[in-house]
Amino acid sequence: MEQNKILVIEDDKYISEFLKMSLTKEGYNIITAGDAAEGLFLFSSHNPDIILLDLGLPDRDGLEVLSEIRIASNVPVMVVSARGQESEKIEALDYGADDYITKPFHLGELMARIRVVERKLQNTNKSFINDVFICDYLKVNYKKRLVTIDDKVVHLTPMEYKLLLVLINDRGKVLTHNYISKKLWGYQQDSDSTSVRVFMANLRRKIEKDTAKPRFILTEVGVGYRFRDE
């Protein structure tokens, strides 16, 4: 079985070589970049399966790199950074990061998180059969724009349906209120997440059998929401 290709964008040569050596031993195909320009070039030319991205790059802020990657691709991006404040982690998630690990880190923890991302990659297409998404008793028919619970049609408003698609598309990933706002309305509501909460509550009432113990939409306290992918 061919191992995934991982692009490491990291300006610290010691960390970069450590990651390259350690992950190569685990059987991964590793390519490295020392700055943003090289990282974006390798991203476009090598089509990596996973990206490990440092935020403190010498030529550009890593968040700008993440933003450019997200315009072109949904490739999993794991931020590996010395910026450990909660607000900085949330900001990275806002920009579309799939995970965030703070330096210094243990290799075992990094490997565990990479395996989580790999499971998501492996399961990406397993839930789709002929343009129908199936997860337990929830089914979404994309061609018919039809949502059913236990084969009974659930009537969603256009915004609720769009929200459900956003959650499904990024299932397993923590989505912040700002990230969801940008996906729904095309802009970021920095000061008010009330609209997101209202739409999320309405969607939950329609697709969850027990809103107190949700099967699909989980709340990540203080951050946002996650669609359970197992």
pLDDT band for position 30 (cuts 50, 70, 90): very high
Average pLDDT over residues 8-36: 95
- Residue 214 region, left (φ>0) first, then alpha (ψ -120 to 50), else beta? beta
Residue 183 in this model has a pLDDT that exceeds 70: yes
Exposed (0-12), middle (13-18) or buried (19+): which is 71, by Cβ within 10 Å? exposed
Report d(CA 36, CA 2) in Å as an integer. 27
Strands 152-154 and 146-149: antiparallel
Query: Which pLDDT value is given to residue 80?
Result: 92
Q: pLDDT for 119-178, tens place per residue?
A: 877 765 555 556 888 889 999 998 888 999 999 999 988 889 989 999 998 888 889 888
Within 13 A of 130's CA, how many CA atoms are on the CB side?
1
Cβ 100 vs Cβ 123: under 8 Å: no
Instruction: List the domains of the chain with CATH numbers.
Output: 5-123 (3.40.50.2300), 128-227 (1.10.10.10)
55 pLDDT band, cuts 50/70/90, is: very high
| Residue bearing tokens 């990275």 | 92
Closest C-alpha among 205, 177, 180, 202 to residue 191 = 177
